[in-house]
Structure 1
Amino acid sequence: MSMLGHLLTRFVRNGRLTVIHADGSRESFGSGRDGPEVTVRLHDDKVQRQLFFNPELASAEAYMDGRLTVEEGGRILDLLTLFSINRSGLGSHPVQQALRKVWRLLKRRHQSNAVGQAASNVSSHYDHPKAFYELWLDETMSYSCAYFQQPDMALKDAQVAKMRHIAAKLRLEPGMTVAEIGSGWGGLATYLAAVCGVHVTAINVSPEQLAASRARVESAGVADKVTFFEKDYRELTGRFDRVVSVGMMEHVGVGHFDDYFSTVRRLLAPGGSAMIHAIGRMSPPGTTAPFIRKYIFPGGYVPALSEVFASTERTGLWVADCEVLRLHYYWTIKAWRERFEAVRAEVVTMQGERFARMWEFYLAAVELGFLNGSNMVYQLLLAETRDAVPVTRDFITQAEAELKTREGALPWRST
């Protein structure tokens, strides 16, 4: 039996994986029960060796290069589904255990995000053409977990519900000042200015997103209420009634968590509060998957809540509330993947076949991480004092109902 066959025998227990080797021979692994049946073709012998030593990265790169294909009408989603439901078996193999030890030793190096490096890491992902993201994101251009009050909500409505949920937690009043750390495509800043009447100072290190965000607030008629700066979060100064950060902490790196939370505390005016929305894991601290680290989010890391709370403790912040959104990002990314699949030909024309394969591998892998893996999203309310946030959650529901009545001014209001 080949080295790869030895690994797959221990790895694939549920479902069945059939491998067609470069010489045309076939091997099958798994019980055929409780999972999909997937057939892959390896187009050269080198792929087999690469898969043995680093299956997560090698499978992605071989798929991107067309050296690994999913046969008989299958999709990369099917192969990754088989992978995700058998993941524990992979971790038990001695070679994979040794590889993970090395990754843990290099964890802080992989997540080094000094001021200049952080901008470079973000640029590698977010500075793809805006037209590319417009193909498969919804009208709000939100590129973070939506808030599904029902699983079958339209994606746009779920994204507006997310903004409403965040605004409700912030307890905003007209004229308040808000600092937004990591402003994306400007959707949340537009919502807060248009619906809540606050003044937003938003920062981002992606020139592509900043240009689009400035155009967005201009067209929404709230440019006088929103100011965008190309700054690292550590460079922002001033004091604000509220601080909000959505989908940013994943880019900070574990060695910089104290910098991040210290910045949040420094920016808060007396009596102020902050709302942090980010991806986390319910499992113990780990590392970033090699494919994600190399091709998608260099410098990124999804923390365990134990790492997050350890940093809020060290930086002297009260965690006034923590809400865990478990399946919400699964529903969000499933919608993104389906929308991406519908426009795949346009993506190939715009970005090329290899890029399209990389992106579909990414979307499928992350979707399954939120369905079968340990990933989730958490929302924290933070403050310097114990009484800066109401001591019951009733205010959130009440504020959401009021905010919904004011959303008619939005260019992409929910239906």
Structure 2
Amino acid sequence: MNRLLDRILKSFISAGQLSVTWADGSQSVYKGAVSGPSAGMALSNHQIEAALALNPGLAFGEGYMDGAITPLGCSLYQLLDLLMLNSMSPGHLPAQIAEGFRYVCRKWIQFNPVKRSRRNVAHHYDLDSRLYQLFLDKDRQYSCAYFRRGDETLDEAQEAKKHHIASKLLLNRPGLEVLDIGCGWGGMALTLARDYGAIVTGITLSQEQLDVARQRALDEGLQGQVRFEMLDYRNLQCRFDRIVSVGMFEHVGVSHYEQFFETVKNSLKDDGIALIHSIGRNDRPGTTNPWLDKYIFPGGYSPALSEVFTAVEKSGLWVTDCEILRLHYAKTIAVWRERFAANRAKAVALYDERFARMFEFYLDAAELSFRVQGHMNFQIQLSRGIDTVPLTRDYMSEAEAKK
């Protein structure tokens, strides 16, 4: 038994119950003062015990990937549920010190100049595109879906998300020039062209996504309406009627928020409208989990709204609408988890067992960040002028009703 980790867990578990089987075969049970979930884990060596005591945010994910941590009598999701719930309460001094250090250094951690941004994007989005086909919807929407009723299929909810966003872009006439910042595999751009008659330019830093998006435009015969380019948003030279960005702002970095919104402003025509869709947090500014930063989204961060609005205010743009989507992403990722689990053997064949364990850890933790750790999605509508959009939101519901 690692005595330091034992003391930490005694104060850390304030809700529910955690059972631990130590590397020496001994067992401990930690029970919180209030009811909560129960879970167990086995630690296979003394190295992982020490690492968990000193840097749990990184060590737990690495320990699971390497097989040094095994859930006992529960699933990984259930174990993470217990631990992530308890992490929201103070009581783990080493973790608090590590968090404070990361906060002090976060501007460097999230420093994303053009070359570094390209490397960060390639780390995750240039993975074999067949991996994403294992769990995404048919349109490959890799962002929060929109569950209007709550019982939609993933395909239906992702289609609804695109039209929900389109309604906020006020696409009231064909031929509007639209910029899609961080266009992914092209689904949003193709939808805006196909269903709304827009002329769309999609930009990305992922070569894998760019190749797929261009091929999709050719396959749908939309190459005259949609073009996709490898381009950083900071190098834009044109102005557009509309700008949309879905799931890209998380990769901008706090040091670049002002530059991002200044670029949006300069890239909008005088009567233009922009819609930014991003993950956020409902509490104060924070940091990115070190495991997530190292293995999944280097340089990424889910901002507090206070950080976003401060940068918008400095740009001079109008915030003409803001909507918070709370559990929509949790529901989305729950489906992704199920699909990935059903196709896990294929993921192992594409990469290896350690990669599959990494990816299931990522999906489990991502869903729980929305269920128990205050993450959500926000959609901010922006314009250059005070009178660019109608006085009320009726036009949004009317546009959605037509689809």
Pair in the same fold by TM > 0.5 = yes
Question: Structure 1 runs of 4+ off > 6 angstroms?
Answer: none
Q: Deviations over 1:229-276 (max 9, x none)?
A: 101111122111001111010000000001110111011011111011
Match of 1:147 in 2: 146
- Say if 1:182 and 1:247, in contact at 8 Å, map to a contact too: yes
Q: Distance in 1 between matches of 2:34 and 2:302?
A: 32
Q: Distance in 1 between matches of 2:99 and 2:134?
A: 36
Q: What amino acid maps onto 1:292 in structure 2?
A: L
Aligned ranges for residues 21-36 of structure 1 at < 5 Å? 21-31=22-32, 34-36=35-37
Matched, 1:56 2:42: no
Match of 2:124 in 1: 125
Match of 2:266 in 1: 266
- Say if 2:88 and 2:373, in contact at 8 Å, map to a contact too: no
Matched, 1:19 2:14: no
Match of 1:46 in 2: 47
The share of aligned pairs that are identical, in percent, is: 46
Matched, 1:161 2:146: no
Q: Distance in 1 between matches of 2:356 and 2:281?
A: 27
Q: Deviations over 1:149-190 (max 9, x none)?
A: 022210010000000011111111211100110001100011
Q: How far apart are 1:33 and its partner, in Å?
A: 6.2
- Which secondary structure state, in structure 2, belongs to the residue aligned with residue 140 of structure 1? coil
Number of residues paired by the alignment? 401
Q: Distance in 1 between matches of 2:101 and 2:32?
A: 32
Point out where structure 1 has 5 or more consecutive residues left out of the alignment: 405-415
Q: Distance in 2 between matches of 1:198 and 1:223?
A: 12
Q: How far apart are 1:37 and its partner, in Å?
A: 2.1
Q: How far apart are 1:315 and its partner, in Å?
A: 0.8
Q: What amino acid maps onto 1:67 in structure 2?
A: A
Q: TM-score, normalised by structure 1?
A: 0.95
Q: How far apart are 1:198 and its partner, in Å?
A: 0.7
Q: How far apart are 1:116 and its partner, in Å?
A: 0.6
- Say if 1:179 and 1:243, in contact at 8 Å, map to a contact too: yes
Q: What amino acid maps onto 2:211 in structure 1?
A: A
Match of 1:178 in 2: 178
Q: What amino acid maps onto 1:300 in structure 2?
A: G
- Say if 2:278 and 2:378, in contact at 8 Å, map to a contact too: yes
Match of 1:411 in 2: none
Q: What amino acid maps onto 1:9 in structure 2?
A: K
Q: Distance in 2 between matches of 1:126 and 1:337?
A: 18
Q: How far apart are 1:32 and its partner, in Å?
A: 8.9
Give the stretch that moved more between structures: 11-20 or 101-110. Answer: 11-20
- Say if 1:16 and 1:32, in contact at 8 Å, map to a contact too: no
Q: How far apart are 1:88 and its partner, in Å?
A: 2.8
- Say if 1:17 and 1:37, in contact at 8 Å, map to a contact too: yes
Q: Distance in 2 between matches of 1:151 and 1:282?
A: 22
Aligned ranges for residues 273-292 of structure 1 at < 5 Å? 273-292=273-292
Q: Distance in 1 between matches of 2:34 and 2:300?
A: 36
- Say if 1:141 and 1:185, in contact at 8 Å, map to a contact too: yes
Match of 2:107 in 1: 108
Q: Distance in 2 between matches of 1:230 and 1:213?
A: 11
Q: TM-score, normalised by structure 2?
A: 0.98
Q: Distance in 2 between matches of 1:51 and 1:79?
A: 15
Match of 1:232 in 2: 232
Q: Deviations over 1:278-327 (max 9, x none)?
A: 01111000011111111111001111000000000111110000000011
- Which secondary structure state, in structure 1, belongs to the residue aligned with residue 144 of structure 2? coil
Root mean square deviation of aligned Cα: 1.1
Point out where structure 2 has 5 or more consecutive residues left out of the alignment: none
Q: How far apart are 1:87 and its partner, in Å?
A: 1.6
- Say if 1:16 and 1:33, in contact at 8 Å, map to a contact too: no
- Which secondary structure state, in structure 2, belongs to the residue aligned with residue 301 of structure 1? coil
- Which secondary structure state, in structure 2, belongs to the residue aligned with residue 379 of structure 1? strand
- Say if 2:57 and 2:95, in contact at 8 Å, map to a contact too: no
